[in-house]
Every structure is written in structure tokens, then in C-alpha cells.
Structure 1
Amino acid sequence: MNTQRASEIAESPIMANVTLDGTPVYIQHVDEDTEMARVFPLDHPERELSVPVGELAEQPAEE
């Protein structure tokens, strides 16, 4: 995923289907200067992580 798209997702009120190594995550914040994202797994919100934006993947919406 690129930094611009990660920022759009983080700022959107609509939940996007984003994964980190196959685990669904929520993007809290994106630092565009360092290309790092602050995320947490949906099933473990207490486990915040800082990860490179390039490690995140947006999955197609389920219909």
C-alpha cells in the first residue's frame, strides 16, 4: 500500500479492510514523512504497532 492511500483510509470514517501479514488491522495514524503507520489488530486493540506502510495490504470489499 502507498502512503497516500494509507492516509486516506486512516482519515476516512468508513472502515476499510486492511491487513498486515494476513491479520486485519485498523490504521490509527500515518506519518507521511517516515512512511510509517500506527496500527492495531482488530481482535487485539491493545497491541499497537508501528509498521512500514508498504507492509499493509488493502483487501477487496466483501459483497
Structure 2
Amino acid sequence: MNTMRAQEISESPVMANVTYDGTPVYIQKVDSDNNTARIYALDDPDNEVSVPLDQLVEQ
């Protein structure tokens, strides 16, 4: 996923269908300098991780 689209999704009030490694996730924050996003799995909101943007997939 590109940085611009990830940023749009993170700022949107509408929930987008995004996955990381096949798991549905919520994008908390995008770090455009490092091309990463702070995410959490929808079924595990207490476990936030930073992942490369290119590993996020919009369904």
C-alpha cells in the first residue's frame, strides 16, 4: 500500500478493509519517513505493532 492511501485510511471515519498477513487490521498512524504504519488486529486491539506499508493490503 502506498503512503498516501494508508494516510487517507487512517484519517477516514469509515472503516476500510485492510489486512496484514491475512489478518484484518486497523491503521492507527502512518510514518511516511520510514514507510511504516502502526496497526493492530481487529480482534486484538491491545497489541499494536509497526509494519512496512508494502505489507498492508486493501481488500
* In 2, Cα distance between equivalents of 1:22 and 1:45: 16
Paired residue for 1:27? Answer: 27
Higher strand share: 2
Please report the RMSD computed on the Cα atoms of aligned residues, expressed in angstroms.
Answer: 0.4
Note the C-alpha offset of 1:25. 0.2
Larger Rg: 1
Percent of aligned pairs sharing the same letter: 64
Aligned length: 59
1:1-63 matches, within 5 Å, as 1-59=1-59
Normalised by the size of structure 1, how large is the TM-score? 0.91
- Deviation sequence 1:19-49 (CA, Å, 0-9, x none): 0010000000001111110000000001101
Unaligned segments of structure 1, at least 5 residues: none
Note the C-alpha offset of 1:16. 0.1
